[in-house]
Amino acid sequence: MFDYDKLAAEAVETLDGYDFSSTLKSCYGVDILDVCDLLETYGDAVSNAIENLSEDEIAIYLNKRYGMKMKEVSRYRMSWNNRWKKEQ
């Protein structure tokens, strides 16, 4: 998997050495970054492997390896605009 990128392929090999089933079974509608945080609790090797994968690659990996469903969700993110001036 991910033969186009040596680091990503090595990351998959590392992740394949673990069974994340018990952790992933509790995930429903969870953001991919939150899933990554859960998996990183397995230790530095897993954390380093996850750092070498994009969010898309992690989602694809979890789908192929564990049958996890993925759904892209658009969300609005708001930030205060310090340069905004109220119309008078």
Q: What is the DSSP string of 4-73?
A: T-HHHHHHHHHHTTS--HHHHTT-SS--HHHHHHHHHTT-HHHHHHHHTS-HHHHHHHHHHHH-------
Structural domain contains residue 59: yes
Structural domain contains residue 37: yes
Residue 47 and residue 40 in contact, taking contact as beta carbons nearer than 8 Å: yes
Per-residue model confidence as pLDDT tens digits over 15-44? 999 999 999 999 998 999 999 999 999 999
Structural domain contains residue 58: yes
How many structural domains are present in the chain? 1
> What range does the domain containing 16 cover?
6-66
Structural domain contains residue 13: yes
Per-residue model confidence as pLDDT tens digits over 39-85? 999 999 999 999 999 999 999 999 999 999 988 888 888 888 888 77
Structural domain contains residue 71: no
